[in-house]
């Protein structure tokens, strides 16, 4: 089966019951995504597939043939941190670091969801053409990613700094540059 992982193609043979997380960790030696609960409840295994966040522990790898899979190792470039990774360091958005890769992948996808105008559970008016990314909104959107150390304030500050969202008034949302 053929996969596109972090921009490169790879062909593998494996048991079709293999989770995407196990494929990444055991076959491709990409250890950024973590096996936390192995039930989709903690978000430590979050990766991006075609830019959308998924819990890789719940996904069968065969479902993602020929799709663009991005792990924490695929963000940024060798020797250059992704802006959110740098913000996590600056704002102490991690303690033990176990959840950090999943948090970062989830936040990158969350910013793209905002650009597409996807509302959340706490959005005041889901039919509105515009809404602000409040702390409540951000916390709701990131609620599937748990941090056992409690570094949430640093995580939220890092995300706000990196993806400070501005309203364009045109019904579109875009990340501040």
113-122 residue pLDDT tens? 888 888 888 8
72-131 residue pLDDT tens? 999 988 889 999 999 999 999 989 999 999 999 999 999 888 888 888 888 888 887 666
Give the residue range(s) of CATH 1.10.150.120 domains in the chain: 83-172
| Integer Cα distance of 51 and 53 in angstroms | 7
Q: Structure pTM? A: 0.88
Q: pLDDT above 70 covers what percent of the chain?
A: 90
83-172 has which CATH code?
1.10.150.120
Is there a contact between 14 and 3 (Cβ–Cβ < 8 Å)? no
Q: What is the pLDDT of residue 165?
A: 52
Give the residue range(s) of CATH 3.10.20.30 domains in the chain: 2-75
2-75 has which CATH code?
3.10.20.30
DSSP string, 61-102: GGGGTTSEEE-GGGSSBTTB--HHHHHHHHTT--SS-SSHHH
């Amino acid at each position: 089966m053929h996969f596109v992982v972090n921009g490169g193609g790879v062909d593998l043979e494996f048991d079709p019951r293999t989770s995407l997380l196990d494929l990444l960790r055991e076959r491709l030696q990409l250890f950024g995504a973590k096996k936390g609960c192995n039930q989709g409840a903690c978000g430590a295994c979050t990766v991006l597939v075609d830019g959308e966040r998924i819990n890789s522990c719940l996904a069968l790898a065969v479902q993602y043939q020929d799709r663009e899979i991005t792990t924490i190792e695929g963000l940024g470039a060798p020797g250059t941190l992704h802006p959110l990774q740098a913000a996590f360091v600056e704002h102490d958005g991690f303690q033990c670091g176990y959840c950090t890769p999943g948090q970062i992948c989830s936040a990158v996808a969350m910013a793209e969801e905002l650009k597409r105008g996807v509302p959340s559970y706490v959005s005041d008016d889901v039919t509105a053409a515009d809404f602000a990314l409040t702390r409540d909104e951000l916390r709701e959107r990131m609620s599937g990613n748990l941090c056992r150390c409690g570094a949430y304030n640093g995580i939220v500050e890092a995300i706000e700094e990196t993806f400070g969202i501005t309203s364009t008034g045109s019904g579109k949302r875009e990340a501040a540059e």
